[in-house]
Chain A
């Protein structure tokens, strides 16, 4: 029996392959995975381009195609191209923290040493030994193999050397690969947004895709109430829950649930403001 709590927000994932991204394809794992991070962080509402990220890094850091990029460079590129994306980049993290993040429904990105995978069924490059960026999408106990496993998105899994797309791998190997980069066996890692019910939500739509209308912050959970300001993509909304209000239509979808907002981009608002849930909800309905 598989014991797995229901995790909100993980009903879909995005996988791109490193060598399908054209520019700098031989050293583009990090940009490829960061593009996927953007899509996940914006719940599918933004489709980031690995080549654009790579190009931004090249122009700002002078990193040529013959070399790879690091997390700091990629995060700066995302901040410029798709603001604001906060991936909570950390060094010196024990692997247990990544397990917690996956159990909580976050995606986890790590830098790993690829040689750990050589000789295993999950090896997608027999001659590559160095630093590699991958994402882990989920975590589960597998009663058949009697081990924890992680759903691994390797940008080298392109359908040529092994199947295209994510595969379940032993968690022990996943952690060994990430821990092998540093002498103290901690890992370098990043995390996508939280789907916890109390976590701040982020505006994912710059404007209505059907009408072009920009969203409003309302004084009440009512489309006819006073507009207290405009919404912008990426705006961070802390809240005290979801309430029922008048019916809204956003991107062709209708609903009557509103976010009761207590702080906007870190600044508390009183009395509370209201934002139609459609502005913070991705195409799959996750928020």
Chain B
């Protein structure tokens, strides 16, 4: 038998029980460090520094497509912010 998802009523019960637990009432950012994915950031930077463009399998903007967004465009890289 394959794994199953929970029945919606059971899932809602479990979900509600968790949210009512005082240990899980944080509505503001806890005072703890953010994780930093240095390796991924470094790898991406290396690809671009080396002028390699997209790694294998990444999507390319095709001819005739909307040119307002160009994935290799450094302007885009600078523009896209956390949000």
Chain A contact residues, CB within 8 Å of chain B? 1-8, 19, 26-31, 66-69, 72, 88-93, 97, 99-106, 113, 115-116, 118-121, 123-133, 139-141, 143, 148, 158-162, 180-185, 188, 191, 194-197, 199
Chain B contact residues, CB within 8 Å of chain A? 1-12, 14-15, 18-19, 24-30, 32-35, 37, 40-41, 43-44, 48, 54-55, 57-59, 61, 65-66, 68-69, 71-72, 74, 76-77, 79-83
Whether the Cβ atoms of B35 and A126 lie closer than 8 Å is no
Whether the Cβ atoms of B27 and A139 lie closer than 8 Å is no
Top 7 nearest A-B pairs (CB, nearest first) are: A68-B83, A103-B11, A115-B40, A127-B77, A27-B81, A104-B12, A130-B82
Whether the Cβ atoms of A195 and B26 lie closer than 8 Å is no
Which residue of A132, A183, A199 contacts B34 across the interface (Cβ within 8 Å)?
A183
Q: Which residues of A contact B68 (CB under 8 A)?
A: 19
Whether the Cβ atoms of B82 and A132 lie closer than 8 Å is yes
Whether the Cβ atoms of A161 and B2 lie closer than 8 Å is no
Q: With A118-B40, A161-B59 as known contacts, state yes or no: A180 contacts B11, CB within 8 Å.
A: no
Interface of A is mostly: loop
Closest to B55 in A: A119
Q: Which residues of A contact B71 (CB under 8 A)?
A: 125-127, 161
Closest to A156 in B: B80
Q: With A100-B14, A103-B6 as known contacts, state yes or no: A116 contacts B24, CB within 8 Å.
A: no
A166 to B58, CA, bound (A): 18
Closest to A127 in B: B77
A183 to B61, CA, bound (A): 35
A69 to B80, CA, bound (A): 12
A125 to chain B, nearest CB (A): 6
Q: Which residues of B contact A66 (CB under 8 A)?
A: 81
